[in-house]
């Protein structure tokens, strides 16, 4: 049973007396997924876990780890790495592009812009960007990530500077990747995908900190572009491959888990290192994928407006990952230790001055992008020093599901969703009726309340709020 320790947090004593903290308001508690809490309790007994195990306000049940779960493991004391703690869509993430355009001045071109984006950006289940790279080039892409795409002329160095890890994790090793993963990856690179992935044109409707927003190139009434996608079938196959590998190897390491979905291995074991290298490949694939989509989006803007994307001010604000594991240093019991921090459905939220941040953001802190879903608002936040103390530098990643996909299909009505979006002035382009039902705004928690929670406990600070104008889904 949990106890409330503040208006925005609850605490539970997990297994092995490890503390569990869930950042959730009293209002959001009524929709709290108790199965997700059980999953946090299971995580608290894994080897090398460091207190506290954390849940973000968008928490809900997931594979092994809940979505919105954060857990850190001391790698020098037998700490593990778990594919279920990262998820199937490795480095699913969000990218925000600004423009120098006011929404009111582009409104006459909005339908043409959305229609062209829907036509030119591959989206949907199994959609392919085309066989555009060779096997050798694909291996280079897995190693270099977004940098490989920029080297092809599909972006600029500044894109990498405004991307988490500069768009590539250095330990990627394609030799550990299965043939099936490579086949799926080559087919789908440069595509949006389905499910909760989207491309949105948005309007900045509220600026909370004009000084910081100005430094980020954000202003009220501005047209911005948000992209939410990840590593597609490639990341899914990597996760599937290594769950099987770790299930077969746990006994050898003397590890037993309360749920086989928590299959894991010591970080420095052979299996742990193989998965780490494969996960880095998948993370790099996702950054390359979002960089390719950025190139396609910029090209469409150029065609519609008859101007170079640079003159349209289409620079990258930031690209943030929310299904990933990272090696980071934190003070534990008075000493700095290297932890493998798993963020599943949670984003990094480093505060000002952190050495991992690009120079452009060291003064203000890392941008944190929190998308809504279709008919709801999205937010631009900044990480804080308090997040480094309270959440291993982590924050929420979105609104979080309220209804399962199956419930949404059963309970929601397609025409009602379309009518509601139309009333709000939101244009929807989708390849799938089922996808619209699954990802309807009513299937998600109130993103405003989720953001209010992380801001109230100091994990992030507000910069701007955006509303959707047009949504493209698979």
For the annotated catalytic residues, the residue numbers are 397
Mean pLDDT within 391-417: 94
Please give the class, per CATH, of domain 3-473.
Answer: alpha beta
Q: Which two tokens stand for residue 82?
A: 């778990």
- Residue 98 pLDDT more than 80? yes
- Specify the pLDDT at position 128: 57
CB of 44 within 8 A of CB of 12? no
Q: How confident is the model at residue 16 (pLDDT cuts 50, 70, 90)?
A: confident
- Specify the pLDDT at position 31: 87
Q: Which two tokens stand for residue 327?
A: 């090696």
Distance CA 340, CA 79 (A): 8
More confident residue, 48 or 123: 48
Beta-bridge partners for 153: none
Which of 320, 311, 337, 440 lies closest to 380, judged by CA?
Answer: 320
Cα 409 to chain center, whole Å? 24
Considering only the C-alpha atoms of the chain, give the largest distance between any 2 of them, rounded to a whole number of Å: 64
**Which tens digit of pLDDT belongs to each residue from 41-56?**
999 999 999 999 999 9
DSSP code for 324: E
Beta-bridge partners for 140: none
**Which tens digit of pLDDT belongs to each residue from 244-265?**
999 999 999 999 999 999 999 9
Mean pLDDT within 73-83: 98
Distance CA 250, CA 270 (A): 12
- Residue 392 pLDDT more than 60? yes
Q: How confident is the model at residue 17 (pLDDT cuts 50, 70, 90)?
A: confident
- Specify the pLDDT at position 233: 95
Mean pLDDT within 394-420: 93
Distance CA 129, CA 301 (A): 19
Q: How confident is the model at residue 196 (pLDDT cuts 50, 70, 90)?
A: confident
- Residue 412 pLDDT more than 90? yes
**Which tens digit of pLDDT belongs to each residue from 210-240?**
999 999 999 999 999 999 999 999 999 999 9
Q: How confident is the model at residue 1 (pLDDT cuts 50, 70, 90)?
A: low
Backbone Cα Rg of the chain: 21
- Residue 132 pLDDT more than 70? no
Q: Phi-psi category of 292—alpha, beta or left, where left has phi over 0 and alpha has psi -120 to 50?
A: alpha
Q: How confident is the model at residue 135 (pLDDT cuts 50, 70, 90)?
A: confident
- Specify the pLDDT at position 125: 56
- Specify the pLDDT at position 474: 73
**Which tens digit of pLDDT belongs to each residue from 328-359?**
999 998 999 999 999 999 999 999 999 999 88
Query: Which of 30-44, 73-87, 230-244 is predicted with the least confidence, judged by mean pLDDT?
Result: 30-44
Query: Which of 154-168, 375-389, 423-437 is predicted with the least confidence, judged by mean pLDDT?
Result: 423-437
For the chain, percent of residues with pLDDT exceeding 90? 90
Distance CA 409, CA 442 (A): 11
Kindly report the average pLDDT of the chain as a whole number: 94
- Residue 131 pLDDT more than 60? no
Domain positions in the chain are: 3-473
């Amino acid at each position: 049973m949990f106890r409330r320790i503040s208006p925005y947090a609850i605490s539970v004593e997990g297994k092995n007396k490890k503390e569990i903290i869930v950042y959730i308001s009293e209002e959001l508690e009524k929709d709290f997924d108790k199965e997700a809490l059980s999953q946090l309790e299971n995580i608290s007994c894994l080897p090398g876990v460091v207190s506290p195990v954390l849940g973000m306000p968008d928490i809900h049940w997931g594979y092994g780890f809940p979505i919105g779960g954060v857990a850190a493991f001391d790698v020098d004391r037998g700490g593990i790495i778990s594919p279920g703690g990262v998820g199937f869509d490795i480095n699913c993430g969000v990218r925000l592009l600004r423009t120098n355009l006011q929404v009111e001045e582009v409104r006459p071109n909005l339908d043409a812009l959305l229609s062209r984006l829907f036509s030119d950006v591959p989206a949907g289940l199994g959609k392919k960007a085309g066989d555009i790279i060779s096997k050798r080039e694909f291996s280079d892409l897995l190693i270099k990530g977004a940098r490989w795409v920029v080297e092809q002329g599909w972006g600029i160095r500044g894109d990498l500077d405004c991307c988490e890890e500069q768009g590539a994790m250095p330990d990627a090793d394609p030799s550990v990747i299965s043939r099936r993963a490579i086949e799926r990856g080559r087919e789908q690179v440069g595509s949006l995908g389905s499910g909760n992935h989207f491309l949105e044109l948005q309007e900045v409707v509220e600026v909370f900190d004009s000084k910081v927003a100005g430094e980020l190139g954000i202003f009220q009434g501005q047209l911005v572009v948000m992209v939410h996608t990840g590593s597609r079938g490639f990341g899914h196959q990597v996760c599937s491959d290594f769950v099987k590998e770790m299930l077969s190897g746990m006994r050898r390491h003397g590890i037993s888990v309360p749920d086989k979905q928590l299959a894991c291995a010591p970080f420095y074991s052979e299996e742990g290192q193989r998965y780490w290298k494969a996960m880095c490949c998948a993370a790099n694939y996702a950054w390359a994928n979002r960089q390719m989509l950025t190139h396609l989006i910029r090209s469409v803007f150029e065609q519609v407006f008859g101007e170079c994307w640079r003159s349209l001010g289409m620079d990258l604000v930031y690209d943030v990952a929310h299904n990933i594991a990272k090696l980071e240093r934190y003070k534990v019991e008075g000493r700095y230790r290297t932890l493998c921090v798993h963020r599943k459905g949670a984003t990094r939220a480093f505060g000002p001055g952190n050495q991992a941040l690009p120079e452009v953001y060291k003064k203000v802190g890392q941008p944190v992008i929190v998308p809504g879903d279709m008919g709801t608002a999205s937010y631009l936040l900044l990480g804080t020093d308090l997040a480094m103390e309270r959440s291993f530098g982590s924050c929420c990643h979105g609104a979080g599901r309220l209804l399962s996909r199956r419930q949404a299909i059963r309970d929601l009505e397609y025409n009602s969703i379309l009518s509601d979006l139309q009333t709000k002035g939101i244009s929807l382009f989708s390849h799938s009726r089922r996808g619209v039902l699954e990802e309807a705004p009513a299937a998600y928690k109130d993103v405003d309340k989720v953001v209010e929670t992380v801001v109230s406990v100091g994990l992030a600070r507000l910069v701007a709020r955006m509303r959707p104008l047009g949504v493209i889904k698979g």
